[in-house]
Amino acid sequence: MINTFYRSALFSLLLLFSLSPRALVVLQYHHVDAEGPASTSLSPAQFIEHMQMLEDLGFEVVDLEKATRDLLDDNVSQQATNKQVAISFDDAYSSIYTAAYPELKRRGWPFTIFVNPLAVNEKHRNIMSWEQLQQLVDEGVTIANHSDSHPHLPTIPEGYTLEQWLNEEVTAPYIEMKKRLGNVSTMFAYPYGEFTLDILNWLAKQDILAFGQQSGPIGPHSHPQALSRFPAAGIYANPTTLKTKIMSMALPVAASELHDPIVTADNNPPKFSIQLIEADYNPKLLQCFASQQGAIDTQVSTINDKLVLSTIAPQKFTSKRARYNCTVPSSQKGRYYWYSQPWQMF
């Protein structure tokens, strides 16, 4: 058996000459309104600044569903650039129609809006109408599913089975939007970005691509029902930090490595261990971060000839939602690999 020293040297050589895995960065927005809620809003001027940054960085803005499926199905040319981004909006706020759409239409860029039909039907304040959504569909904008009532999906109401709950909050709104608007995508965005492994499995049987709110790019190995996006509003609207995220690439980790996101009193803080796939990075430089705790102790070891990353936060999580984000510099100057594991406190 090759000893540890030669195994490490061989791995380093492979990294040096390997191609960087392809990736898709997905930006997530809500309100494009200076007067909107601070946590989910950015001003129209900030939005335009973000769009200009994409252009200045030489990124291709692509259709979310096609680009994601091509990447997961390995239909992208090996020579394709690692500079693709997709733009998404949650909740169908009116400011998307009045402030974001004119800028995106001017640039000829595709984008996706994840819609809650109940909010449209009840004519909630600052939500687009069916007529406005129909106009966007007619002009080529992708409309997709964000559940009917925007519930906390992992909390199944008393008296419901998982099947009944997901039929009500996933299947029914898709059917309604399909009847009203015609051309509607089967993609789904989790309300609050939260899911369980049982929900993932149900969506997988329907071949539904599903997006969360954990940060990080999408890569060929990403889980099709736990796809990541970068929130880009509120505290995340800063152009300097957003640039780093836009330039990031997906740390290659198999979909099967996704952990159960549910954290209880018995496993808080949660242990985290994933098997790494080779790419152009130095494993010794991997660093994980925990929500509100900063950098945490990160170990990379060789187990059965496989590189394994292990970490655990030093303190318990106290908020309802948290993440472990793990990053490492790529051989490409100014670019980092990124992987995010979401957690939900129950």
| CATH number, residue 314 | 2.60.40
Tokens representing residue 182 in the block: 């015609």
| Residue 15 in this model has a pLDDT that exceeds 80 | no
**156-215: per-residue pLDDT in tens?**
999 999 999 999 999 999 999 999 999 999 999 999 999 999 999 999 999 999 999 999
pLDDT for 21 equals 67
| Residue 4 in this model has a pLDDT that exceeds 70 | no
Q: Are 28 and 88 in contact (CB under 8 A)?
A: yes
Q: With bands split at pLDDT 50, 70 and 90, how would you rate the model's confidence at 136?
A: very high
pLDDT for 54 equals 98
Q: 20-29, 46-55, 312-321, 329-338: lowest mean pLDDT where?
A: 20-29
Q: Are 325 and 288 in contact (CB under 8 A)?
A: yes
> Going by C-beta distance under 8 Å and a sequence separation of 6 or more, which residues neighbour residue 318?
292
Let me know whether 230 and 310 are in one domain: no
pLDDT for 75 equals 66
Q: Are 20 and 212 in contact (CB under 8 A)?
A: no
Let me know whether 102 and 217 are in one domain: yes
Residue of higher predicted confidence among 262 and 78? 262
Let me know whether 77 and 95 are in one domain: yes
Let me know whether 132 and 147 are in one domain: yes
pLDDT for 13 equals 39
Q: 11-15, 72-76, 196-200, 328-332: lowest mean pLDDT where?
A: 11-15
> Going by C-beta distance under 8 Å and a sequence separation of 6 or more, which residues neighbour residue 168?
148, 160
Closest CA to 258 of 291, 314, 216, 294: 216
Let me know whether 156 and 281 are in one domain: no
Q: Return the bridge partners of 274, or none.
A: 309
Let me know whether 335 and 217 are in one domain: no
Give the domain range for residue 110: 22-249
User: How far is residue 206's CA from residue 170's CA, in Å, rounded to a whole number?
Assistant: 11
User: How far is residue 130's CA from residue 123's CA, in Å, rounded to a whole number?
Assistant: 10
User: How far is residue 270's CA from residue 260's CA, in Å, rounded to a whole number?
Assistant: 10
Let me know whether 215 and 265 are in one domain: no
Q: With bands split at pLDDT 50, 70 and 90, how would you rate the model's confidence at 294?
A: very high
Closest CA to 45 of 54, 56, 34, 36: 34
Tokens representing residue 256 in the block: 């099967």
Q: Which of 230, 249, 268 is the last residue of a domain?
A: 249
Q: How many domains does the chain have?
A: 2
Nearest 10 degrees: CA dihedral of 41, 44, 47, 49? -140
**249-284: per-residue pLDDT in tens?**
999 999 999 999 999 999 999 999 999 998 999 999
> Going by C-beta distance under 8 Å and a sequence separation of 6 or more, which residues neighbour residue 122?
none
Let me know whether 62 and 136 are in one domain: yes
Let me know whether 109 and 178 are in one domain: yes
pLDDT for 286 equals 98
When pLDDT is averaged across residues 325-337 and rounded to a whole number, the result is 94
Q: 71-80, 310-319, 327-336: lowest mean pLDDT where?
A: 71-80
Percent of the chain at pLDDT exceeding 70: 92
Mean pLDDT (the chain) is 92
Q: With bands split at pLDDT 50, 70 and 90, how would you rate the model's confidence at 6?
A: very low
| Residue 73 in this model has a pLDDT that exceeds 50 | yes
| Residue 321 in this model has a pLDDT that exceeds 60 | yes
| Residue 90 in this model has a pLDDT that exceeds 60 | yes
pLDDT for 82 equals 78
| Residue 234 in this model has a pLDDT that exceeds 70 | yes
pLDDT for 278 equals 87
pLDDT for 264 equals 96
When pLDDT is averaged across residues 78-93 and rounded to a whole number, the result is 85
| Residue 1 in this model has a pLDDT that exceeds 80 | no
Closest CA to 65 of 166, 5, 121, 142: 142
Let me know whether 103 and 204 are in one domain: yes
Q: Which of 249, 271, 304 is the last residue of a domain?
A: 249
Q: Which of 221, 249, 277 is the last residue of a domain?
A: 249
Q: Are 29 and 88 in contact (CB under 8 A)?
A: yes
Alpha-carbon distance values, 23 to 52, 79, 81, 246, 325 (Å): 21, 12, 9, 11, 17
User: How far is residue 156's CA from residue 83's CA, in Å, rounded to a whole number?
Assistant: 39
pLDDT for 79 equals 45
Let me know whether 107 and 179 are in one domain: yes
Identify the CATH number of the domain in which residue 137 sits. Answer: 3.20.20.370
| Residue 9 in this model has a pLDDT that exceeds 80 | no
Let me know whether 311 and 334 are in one domain: yes
Helix 239-246 crosses helix 44-56 at what angle (to 10 degrees)? 40
Q: With bands split at pLDDT 50, 70 and 90, how would you rate the model's confidence at 52?
A: very high
Residue of higher predicted confidence among 101 and 332? 101
